[in-house]
Amino acid sequence: MENKENRNLYAVGALFDSPNKLVAFAKKLVNEGYRFWDVHSSYPLHGLPKIMRLKWSPLGYVALVLGLTGTLTGLFLTYWTMSVDYRLTIGGKPWFSFPAFVPVLFELTVLLASVGTAIVMLFIIFKLPNNRHPLHDSEYLKKVSVDKCGIIVESHDAKFDYQTIRSLFGEYGASEVVDIYYNEEEIAYKPRVFEPKFIVFLVVIAILTSAFGYLFNNKVLYLPPFDFMLKQFKVNPQSESMFFADGFGMRTPVAGTVARGQRDYPFKGKPDEAGEKLVNPLLSTNDVLELGKRKYNTFCSPCHGWRGEGDSRLNGQFPNPPSLHSEKVRNWSDGRIYHVIMEGQNIMPSYASQLTEKERWAIILYIRALQRSLNAKQEDVK
């Protein structure tokens, strides 16, 4: 029982010249009821799984499950992208055009099943990579790699007895019997997360990745040929034009023309007449007020303030306009305010080209709502 004291012993192994002797020994081990033992050869030995009474490999089921996962993933991907998220009508076919998705489903099935099964076998069933196994780099394994077949009985097997095993090996004609020990260093080694080498490695990776990302996104993409979309023979908004005499790239409408969706404005320069004759065609429904609020916030609020109090957000770059809650504006008719939007007033320019007719009237209704909120009458609070 000296081996029991030697806690470093992993297994006793024997090398055989021919697989026939080895098979005989394997049968003996099975009959004796050993459980922790293994056969090593640099190629698969036929019939051995049966002798070792190994269970049928479950990899077939693994492949089935992974393959079906691939099919379903493909089905979901094609269905969701083509039929739900971004529908494209192609040749008048239905959005869920199953026959056209079959190639992709097939490829994803094969991809997931084959790659996944290989990964499951190597990394989950075999628990590789494992270069710290006692057999790794042992003389025993090196001889197996060349031309021997080997068999080992591990020391933690319940029936393991050092002397018995060694003599059995001799009986069955092993050419060499070896003891395989755990490597002290390998047992003592514990991988640590905060190991300096590892931290340095992470830092280097992080620096390289960010440097690459920065250079690629900010420098490389602006060099030829990657900048091919940036140089185009067209006038960009706000840019200079050599073609027009005034040097502006952006043009105003030609005199006497009316843009689509717009109408000629008959009250140019006649604010009072506009105030009398123009009538707001909209009712202040929820939708209209929502539209008015959106447009007011976009176009009016930078100067007039969120609530029309004349509290500009422009930090004095432009003079602040008067409040929309003044007596004067409250008493103006809708048409009078409409005229201001169309023609501008004092320093305020015309907003006719930015807003459609409906939007102007909706903004006015929103301004009315704002005015009423700050100057509420008694009957409003009911």
Q: Applying CB under 8 A, does 122 fall inside the site for other proteins? A: yes
Q: How far is CA 165 from the centre of its chain?
A: 57
Asked if 160 and 154 count as a contact pair (C-beta separation under 8 A), the reply is yes
Contact track, other proteins, 179-218, x by CB under 8 A: ----------------------------------------
Q: Residue holding tokens 């029936």?
A: 159
Torsion of Cα atoms, 22 then 24 then 26 then 32, to 10°: -150
First to last CA, the chain: 99
The stretches of 147-195 forming alpha helices (DSSP H) are 162-171, 184-188
Q: How many whole angstroms separate alpha carbon 156 and alpha carbon 182? A: 13
Distance CA(163)–CA(177), nearest Å, equals: 12
Number of residues binding to other proteins, judged by CB under 8 A: 70
Strand partners, 154: 11
- Residue with Cβ nearer other proteins (174 or 342): 174
Of 5-13, 95-103, 170-178, 201-209, which part binds other proteins (CB under 8 A)? 95-103
**Residue (154 or 359) nearer to other proteins, CB:** 154
Q: Which of residues 11-40 bind other proteins (CB under 8 A)?
A: 18-20, 22-23, 38-40
Cβ distance 311 to 256 under 8 Å? Answer: no
Stretch of 83-91, 178-186, 260-268, 318-326 lying at the interface with other proteins (CB under 8 A): 83-91
Q: Which of 63/367 has CB closer to other proteins?
A: 63
101 touches other proteins (CB under 8 A): yes
Q: Which of 9, 11, 14, 141 binds other proteins (CB under 8 A)?
A: 141
Binding-site member from 4, 7, 47, 244 for other proteins (CB under 8 A) = 47
Stretch that binds other proteins, among 46-54, 198-206, 244-252, 287-295 (CB under 8 A): 46-54
Sign, Cα dihedral of 67, 68, 70, 71: positive
Asked if 263 interacts with other proteins (CB under 8 A), we say no
Q: Is 60 in the site for other proteins (CB under 8 A)?
A: yes
Of 11, 12, 144, 274, the residue at the interface with other proteins (CB under 8 A) is: 144
Q: Degrees (nearest 5) of the Cα angle 105, 110, 111?
A: 95
Contacting residue, 7, 8, 88, 199, with other proteins by CB under 8 A: 88
110 scored as a contact of other proteins (CB under 8 A): yes
For the chain, helix, strand, coil in percent to 5 are 50, 5, 45
Instruction: Give the contacts of 101 (CB within 8 A, at least 6 positions apart).
Output: 74, 75, 78, 79, 82
Tell me which long-range contacts 189-197 makes (C-beta under 8 A, separation of at least 24): 189/132
The region of 85-93, 297-305, 352-360, 368-376 touching other proteins under the rule CB under 8 A is 85-93
The amino acid sitting at 223 is L
The contact set with other proteins (CB under 8 A) reads 18-20, 22-23, 38-49, 52, 54, 57, 59-60, 63, 77-78, 81-82, 85-86, 88, 90, 93, 97, 100-101, 103-104, 106-108, 110-111, 113-115, 117-118, 121-122, 125-126, 128-133, 135-137, 141-142, 144-147, 224-226, 228
